[in-house]
Amino acid sequence: MQYSVAVRALCEFTARRGDLDLRFTPAPSAQEGVAGHQWVAGRRGPRYETEIFLQGTFEQLAVRGRADGYDPALNRLEEIKTHRGDLAKQPANHRHLHWAQAKVYGWLLCQARGLAELNVALVYFDIASQQETTFCETHSAESLRLFFEDHCREFLAWARQELQHREGRDRSLAALAFPHAAFRTGQRELAESVYRGAATGRCVLAQAPTGIGKTVATVFGLLKAAAPQAIDKVFYLTAKSTGRRMALDAAALIARSAPALPLRVLELTARDKACEHRDKACHGDSCPLARGFYDRLPAARSESLALDCMDAPALRTVALKHGVCPYYLAQELARWVDLVVGDYNYWFDGSAMLHAMTLGNEWRVGVLADEAHNLVERARAMYSATLSQASLRTVRSAAPAPVRPALDKVNRGWNVLRKARAAAPDAPLDALPASFLNALKQAAGALETHFAEAAPGAADGALLQAYFDILAFQRLAESFGTHSVLELAETAGASTKPAASVRIQNLIPAPFLKPRFAAARTVTLFSATLSPPHYFIDMLGLPADTAWIDVESPFSPEQLAVQVVSRISTRYPHRQRSAAPIARLIAEQYAARPGNYLAFFSSFDYLDLVAAEFRRAHPEVPAWTQGRGMDEAQRQAFLERFVPGGAGVGFAVLGGSFGEGIDLRGDRLVGAFVATLGLPQVNPRNEQLKERLEGVFGAGYDYTYLYPGIQKVVQAAGRVIRTQEDKGIVVLIDDRFARPAVRELLPAWWRVTHAEPGARA
């Protein structure tokens, strides 16, 4: 069995030395990089060859890649690198890596074409000046062969270890049994749907009730498919850190059930949480964990891969032992593991690391997205961006003189935006003025030139952030379409001058997410609330052949009394007079069955109103409330009030920290009140969203208000029944819950009754 590796990956493994150096240097975008290669090729003769596919072998190693260019007239192979600014400031280890790539391609070309000698060149093309800097060396085919074999030999010991790991992994996975003695109701169905998705190369949308063990079922199903479908890696993506812990626990459970399974599991955490020296920059002159990073990486990598689980605490221990950065150690390890657990952004964001690595290494991957009802809003945030006139003015005041004219031009561009808004105050902006976009482009160019000429490490602070903000906004402006809207707002500035902000607000993430689904062998999105499926397929851009499954619930209607109280309206104009009836309703249920309850409301103001009335009228009942901006310790203290055998009422906001992702089993929670339909607030943005979705999908109100609202309601109600032994009550308070269009969106296993005045469970 051969081990296949790309030229770039081979050289990154064998030729990187010295410090981790992430000091900012202006780099061309991907589009500019492609254009740079085309410019260089266009200057060569008509016989010049580009993108030459080359491959070769050494023992068990198969090496492949595409060389940038070959000039037969000069017998010169060229490795082309685009850049900006002074090339003399390029770190030496970068140049060392580039030469390694060029020489490996050189041997592969000599071998393919029977060349005895070859000129090997590094061509650095400055995007800004369009000037080339060329370094050229002449090598015999024999010297290039020896260079190639030396690097292959260095990698081969690792490759053989990886082959052995992969063979053992696939052999164990083929024989893997479910880690529990039996499947719970719905678990087998869910695991099989994930497996079939991988087998057929389709995406899966799986609605599965809370409490059935979705995490272990989905991980098991995709791991079982890994060997027969030649899946290299499984990515388990979550919206919250609690979801990561559940995935790691599920992987550990599976590994314990199969002692012979060599499963490598990695947790990816955010940089600000993994960083050991937040006051230092990511380069060897500043951070001790960046100094000599690549020299110490091999030992840290080997020790990490021998761990049972590479979660954040375990990786931190290994990293500090070897004196390397834990965050970047985790990123390096992602190349060599079987299961990666991390946030949505690692796959779905515009600059997603795992997506880029998958494309670059040609991996075959399976993706699992937990609590996928969150993905619509998360993706909207990923593909939205804001520019602030006030912030750019502040930056301009401290900017170097060559940059100021370009920032001044951007500042004047806001007047053009204001005029466009004044000309049609009630209509949405359809496009950004060309003059404003041109001003942004010039400002980005001026900043790039400044950073390229500045001393290493000088590109820190507010000016750099302004540059990143402009680039992010530009990228989205280039792809602006009906999936997004422009929002112009006047803001408070530091001076008396008027200031504004302009935001590209994404409404429909589908166009951005479609390539992410296409890049994977299969993607399974699962949650307790994915109804109706067409809403998620439309909004997320899932393929037309996406499979839909509504997993059978393990819970019986006898476990959960669901009552609709339609005599009370929770609409905004009726909230003042609804407070006393809701407080009385909660007190009556508490008196009939004392225990722990959660009461959910649409806002903090509404929560405070009803909680105050409840405390006034029923001071004998323990009550506690969710506060605005609670930190982790405060959230934990709120949950700790729900003790087994306890009694009291916790007041919380629907869709907040306590509306999903918490597990209060048994009599820690015996009931929930949902005093709202959960509809998003009616405001200009949501009304614009409704109009846009009506035009695209013909379902503006449902897609904007109804479906997102009911998802929050069902998630909150799902806190009550967590196991097959739990029993409880959910009280839905609002007359609209009696409507057929709303009732059909509630879980099929619920037996909903209409509560008469005074009737209690």
Residue 392: which of 486, 496, 500, 490 has the closest Cα?
A: 500
Per-residue pLDDT at 756 exceeds 70: no
Identify the CA nearest to 546 among candidates 205, 225, 222, 218: 205
Q: Tell me the mean pLDDT in the region 455-475.
A: 80
Structure tokens at 538: 């439309």
From CA 211, how far away is CA 193, in angstroms rounded?
18
Mean pLDDT comparison of 23-37, 409-423, 562-576, highest-scoring range: 562-576
| The CATH classification of domain 179-232+254-262+341-366+374-383+509-554, taken from the options 3.40.720.10, 3.50.50.60, 3.40.50.300, 3.30.70.60 | 3.40.50.300
- Listed in sequence order, the residues at least 6 apart from 541 whose beta carbon sits closer than 8 Å to its beta carbon are 509, 510, 511, 512, 513, 514, 517
What CATH number does the domain located at 3-157 have? 3.90.320.10
Q: Where do the CATH 3.90.320.10 domains begin and end in the chain? A: 3-157
Q: What confidence score (pLDDT) does residue 456 get?
A: 57
What is the pLDDT at residue 309?
95
Can you tell me the mean pLDDT for 651-670? Answer: 92
In tens, the pLDDT along 30-43 reads: 677 788 888 888 88
Rounded-to-integer distance, Cα 282 and Cα 293, Å: 11
Residue 419 exposure: Cα atoms within 13 Å on the Cβ side: 8
pLDDT of residue 24: 63
Torsion, CA 324, CA 330, CA 333, CA 334, rounded to 10: -160
Q: What is the pLDDT of residue 22?
A: 77
Confidence of residue 460 (pLDDT cuts 50, 70, 90): low
Residue 721 predicted with pLDDT over 60: yes
Judged against a pLDDT cut of 90, whether residue 461 lies above it is answered with no
pLDDT at position 687 is 92
**1, burial (CB in 10 Å: exposed 0-12, middle 13-18, buried 19+):** exposed
Cβ-based neighbour number of residue 744 at 10 Å: 11
CA angle, corner 577, sides to 575 and 579, nearest 5? Answer: 70
The 10s digit of each residue's pLDDT in 675-700 is 999 999 888 889 999 999 999 999 99
Q: Is 468 helix (H, G, I), strand (E, B) or coil?
A: helix
Q: How far apart are alpha carbons 143 and 103 in whole angstroms?
A: 9
Relative to beta strand 522-527, strand 204-207 is: parallel
Express as a percent the part of the chain with pLDDT over 90: 74
- Within 10 Å of residue 411's Cβ, how many Cβ atoms? 18
What average pLDDT is seen over the chain? 92
CB within 8 Å of 200: residues ≥ 6 apart? 522
DSSP β-bridge partners for residue 133: 124
How far is Cα 256 from Cα 248, in angstroms, rounded to an integer? 12
Side-chain-side CA neighbours of 18 within 13 Å: the count stands at 14
Could you tell me the pLDDT band of residue 246, with boundaries at 50, 70 and 90?
very high
| Mean pLDDT lowest among 156-160, 198-202, 282-286 | 282-286
For the residues 203-220, what does the mean pLDDT come to?
A: 93
Express each pLDDT in 355-401 by its tens digit. 999 998 889 999 999 999 999 999 999 999 999 998 998 888 888 89
Which residues are paired to 65 by β-bridges? Answer: 54
Which three-class secondary structure state does DSSP give residue 513?
Answer: helix
DSSP state of 268: -
Structure tokens at 730: 């959910």
- The pLDDT assigned to 760 comes to 44
Residue 488 φ/ψ, nearest 5 degrees: -110, 125
- Given a cut of 80, whether residue 29 has pLDDT beyond it is no
Q: Where in the chain is the domain with CATH 3.40.50.300?
A: 179-232+254-262+341-366+374-383+509-554, 557-754
Least confident of 23-27, 69-73, 278-282, 732-736: 23-27
pLDDT at 211 over 50: yes
What confidence tens digit (pLDDT) does each residue in 329-355 have? Answer: 999 999 999 999 999 999 999 989 999
From the candidate CATH numbers 3.40.50.920, 3.40.50.720, 3.40.50.300, 3.30.365.10, the one assigned to the domain spanning 557-754: 3.40.50.300
From the centroid of its chain, how far is CA 671? 34
Which residues, other chains included, contact 589 with Cβ-Cβ below 8 Å and sequence gap of 6+? 597, 671, 673, 729, 731, 760, 761
User: How far is the C-alpha of 667 from the C-alpha of 362, rounded, in Å?
Assistant: 50
Alpha carbon 553 to chain centroid distance? 29
Work out the number of other CB atoms within 10 angstroms of the CB of residue 285. 13
* pLDDT surpasses 70 at 231: yes
Q: Which tokens belong to 119?
A: 């000129």
Q: What is the pLDDT of residue 758?
A: 46
C-beta of residue 241 within 8 angstroms of C-beta of residue 563: no
> CA triplet 364, 365, 367: central angle to 5 degrees?
160
Look up the pTM and report it. Answer: 0.91
Name the percent of the chain lying above pLDDT 70.
96
- Find all residues with CB under 8 Å of 720, minimum gap 6, and list them: 560, 669, 670, 671, 672, 726, 728, 729, 730
Taking the alpha carbons at both ends of the chain, their separation in whole angstroms is 66
**Three-state DSSP class for residue 137:** strand
pLDDT class for 761, splitting at 50, 70, 90?
Answer: very low
Helices 389-398 and 404-423: crossing angle in degrees, nearest 10, is: 160
Band (449; pLDDT cuts 50, 70, 90): confident
Phi, psi of 462 (to 5 degrees): -65, -35
Q: Which of 615, 652, 648 is nearest to 635 (CA)?
A: 652
AA identity, residue 522:
T
pLDDT band at 89 (very low <50, low <70, confident <90, very high): confident
Express each pLDDT in 144-167 by its tens digit: 999 999 999 999 989 999 999 999
**Stretch 535-548: mean pLDDT:** 97
pLDDT at 425 over 60: yes
